[in-house]
Structure 1
Amino acid sequence: MIRIGMGVLAAGVLAAGSAAAQPVSGLYVGAGVGGNYREATLGENPRNRFNWGWGWAAVGSLGWGFGNGFRVEGEVSYRDNQATGALRDGVRPFVVGGTVRQLGLMANAFYDLSLGDPLGTGVSITPYVGAGVGAGWIQGRNVRATFPNGGLFAVDNSSGWNFAYQAIGGVAFGLGQFVPGLSLTTEYRYYATLDTEYKGANRNTGATAPTRVAGEVTNANHSVLVGLRYAFNTPTPAPAPAPAAAPAPARTFLVFFDWDRADLTDRARQIIAEAANNARTVGSTRIEVSGHADRTGSAAYNQRLSVRRAEAVAAELVRRGIQRNQITVQGFGFDRPLVPTAMGVREPQNRRVEIVLR
């Protein structure tokens, strides 16, 4: 059975693969409860045995995680099983009964192997393997078997301590999205002690008095548990950072001019006033003022005209409260038309100044 238990642990390691650890760090507590199956107890004569049904088990632990996947803990466990059958010299009893109780004080070591959140549900999955050693106390209470031929075998209500060991394989499901540090655990444990001593009485058919007997029997258990584990110093997940605010889009204002003119119309002054107000509202630190011309006249003349138009707009912005050092002025002549035209065409939309707030 030890080989079976170790095989389960090896399978757990292979299933976990080389996943990166998501380690417990610092102090934690755990508890679990479930079923316990106790193997048949065998003595020197395999024709003599007691069989046990499923009972129950509970564990409680206090441990420390090192932040690298390794954990150590101290554990207290309890197991309780009822006798369900027996053999004496190969003969089955007529009546069987009694209880065996076990207490374990164990020191365990574990390694966690995180799979992250493979299902995308917000629940992390962390297989783990471990082993422990310690001391096991066992007590038989009214363990007895009455055989059809009148024979009786009874075990005294004796108890004692012995060396105990166990192998553990389990999976922890992180519930940190509900309670930081909380995990649901499911696990299998193979728990055993060295052969335990017993004392009892055996009365054969026709005997006037029982015979005192003593010996050693095996003790091996298989436990399946469900529990909770809480790590105390797990930090509360930080709220997701708010997406960085996109930079405010540049605001562009267009001021139009009459043909071959650089003076401002009333409508032009209204648009420049709106641009100045927006610059103060959005906190602009740079204002680009670019002058343009249509494709009538020479390139050199239109270059100078586009600069004069830009300077006129910049002067009006300053009059509206904008600092001159915030304004850059440039002219492009007719090289960047808003509406492409042939040379010599008077296009009103190309006679413009663009105000861009940055």
Structure 2
Amino acid sequence: METVKMSIKKALLAATMLTLPAAMASAQPVSGPYIGVGAGANWVNNPEKFDITGDTARTIAGLPASADIRFNDVGKANYELGWGGVASLGWGFGNGLRAEVEGNYRSNEVDSIRGFNLAPIGRTGGFQTTYGVMGNVFYDFDPGFLGIGPSYVQPYLGAGAGYMWTDFRNLRGVSGAPGNVGTQIFSDDKDGSFAFQGIAGIAVPFTWLGVPGLTLTAEYRFLGILGADMEVSSRDAGNRVLQSAKLDVDKYNHSAMLGIRYALFQPAPAAPVAAPVQPAAPAPSIARTYLVFFDFNRADLTARAREIIGEAAQNARRAQSTRIEVAGHADRSGTPQYNQRLSQRRAEAVASELVARGVGRDEIGVSAFGESRPLVPTADGVREPQNRRVEIVLR
């Protein structure tokens, strides 16, 4: 009869797990190499201001020959909503920190051009594209830092710097002003300069697909590109160059992107291993020490773990135990501080299950030792399943 009851319990648990939503997979810190891709919408910070320099800049700006050869805000451009994409290769350190190298591309079509003493300017066209390489540093926040147990989303912040190229592809506008009808402002140039960015996002693990390390990301990116020098010219109706000069452009972009991140070489979740103490004598005896094991970076109880805790609660009543000691432990992957908190959450989860099984809370003593008392000694950073445990001792 006990066997039949156990089979029914397992079947009900399996059915419940199959009906859980797809997002129900606990977030974990990235450890080791990973790759990522993302794409989405890109906005240029409109209007984009043009400064102009050069000995021939006076004519384009419509100013007298005695004027200074550098003028601010001689023209502006507005751009339509565009798109962008990123691809990255990085390394996670297992403690929330990540570092990566990123390649990116953004493209926006010009919507309008103003200034250059050619108002009104119509019949605009052309594209502005930016692309380059950035080095980024991220911090993934501990999902349990509020003490609410495992989390299914993981916020992160990042910053980066690098080198970007700005490419004006046939950027143009035709003047309709009296005396300048048909005169064009035209640029088809490329220049590279320093760039920086800030990133804020959230990650949702997709381990429910059976692929450890697969994560969906959603993020906002701000990208600044400083001091791109682009050649601009004014042309007559026959497309002959009248004057040319240099535009000094500071560019700012805002992007909203969805992406996929995949942490390479992640082990499959280890099945929990129970190691109850076997009776020393043929006669039936009550075990007083129990081990409950956990998956990597998890503090939630498996079906097998609940069975072991139920056995411990039942035997505590049979043995008339006056005190139950619950001690949480972690392996050496991650920082000591993080592992201390993780072992505490594991111990609290076991204590809560004992109370649910009829044990009084005042009969339970809870302690947490982090990675300081391994069952199997290992080097720092090693994921050892037998060290991810809670020990229950009946006194």
Q: Which residue of 2 aligns with 1:198?
A: 230
Taking the aligned partners of 2:145 and 2:206, their CA distance within structure 1 comes to 11
TM-score after normalising by structure 2: 0.53
Q: Deviations over 1:157-216 (max 9, x none)?
A: 2112111111111111111222210100001111111121111212589x9962212221
Moved over 6 A (4+): 242-247
Taking the aligned partners of 2:241 and 2:206, their CA distance within structure 1 comes to 62
Q: Which residue of 1 aligns with 2:269?
A: 237
Question: Is the CA contact (8 Å cut-off) linking 1:22 and 1:112 kept in structure 2?
Answer: no
Pairing 1:139–2:171 present: no
In the superposition, relative to structure 1, how do residues 177 and 245 fare at CA in structure 2: closer, same or farther (>3 Å)? Answer: farther
In the superposition, relative to structure 1, how do residues 208 and 165 fare at CA in structure 2: closer, same or farther (>3 Å)? Answer: closer
Taking the aligned partners of 2:201 and 2:183, their CA distance within structure 1 comes to 42
Bigger radius of gyration, 1 or 2? 1
Taking the aligned partners of 1:34 and 1:87, their CA distance within structure 2 comes to 28
Q: Which residue of 2 aligns with 1:51?
A: 78
Q: Deviations over 1:212-261 (max 9, x none)?
A: 122211211111110000001322112355797999xxxxxxxxxxxxxx
Q: Which residue of 1 aligns with 2:114?
A: 87
Match of 2:189 among 135, 155, 158: 158
Pairing 1:126–2:126 present: no
Question: Is the CA contact (8 Å cut-off) linking 2:40 and 2:258 kept in structure 1?
Answer: yes
Secondary structure of 2:207's aligned partner: coil
Q: Deviations over 1:28-58 (max 9, x none)?
A: 0000000111123212343511111111100
Give the C-alpha shift of residue 151 in structure 1: 4.8
- Aligned pair count? 232
Taking the aligned partners of 2:184 and 2:196, their CA distance within structure 1 comes to 30
Question: Is the CA contact (8 Å cut-off) linking 2:154 and 2:203 kept in structure 1?
Answer: yes
Q: What letter is aligned with 1:144?
A: R
Question: Is the CA contact (8 Å cut-off) linking 1:60 and 1:76 kept in structure 2?
Answer: yes
Q: What letter is aligned with 1:177?
A: W
Pairing 1:211–2:247 present: no
152-161 or 176-185, larger mean C-alpha shift: 152-161
Match of 1:26 among 5, 29, 32: 32
Secondary structure of 1:43's aligned partner: strand
Taking the aligned partners of 1:25 and 1:184, their CA distance within structure 2 comes to 17
Q: What letter is aligned with 1:29?
A: I
Question: Is the CA contact (8 Å cut-off) linking 1:168 and 1:188 kept in structure 2?
Answer: yes
Secondary structure of 1:62's aligned partner: strand
In the superposition, relative to structure 1, how do residues 148 and 115 fare at CA in structure 2: closer, same or farther (>3 Å)? Answer: same
Aligned alpha-carbon RMSD (Å): 3.4
Question: Is the CA contact (8 Å cut-off) linking 1:22 and 1:116 kept in structure 2?
Answer: no
Taking the aligned partners of 1:236 and 1:123, their CA distance within structure 2 comes to 19
In the superposition, relative to structure 1, how do residues 195 and 209 fare at CA in structure 2: closer, same or farther (>3 Å)? Answer: closer
TM-score after normalising by structure 1: 0.58
In the superposition, relative to structure 1, how do residues 155 and 192 fare at CA in structure 2: closer, same or farther (>3 Å)? Answer: farther
Question: Is the CA contact (8 Å cut-off) linking 1:114 and 1:126 kept in structure 2?
Answer: yes
Q: What letter is aligned with 1:285?
A: P
Q: Which residue of 1 aligns with 2:137?
A: 109
Q: Deviations over 1:4-29 (max 9, x none)?
A: xxxxxxxxxxxxxxxxx942110000
Structure 1 residue runs of 5 or longer lacking an equivalent are: 1-20, 248-283, 288-358
Q: Deviations over 1:120-141 (max 9, x none)?
A: 9x97211111111111011111
Structure 2 residue runs of 5 or longer lacking an equivalent are: 1-26, 52-71, 285-395
Question: Is the CA contact (8 Å cut-off) linking 2:231 and 2:246 kept in structure 1?
Answer: yes
Pairing 1:286–2:283 present: yes
Q: Which residue of 2 aligns with 1:12?
A: none
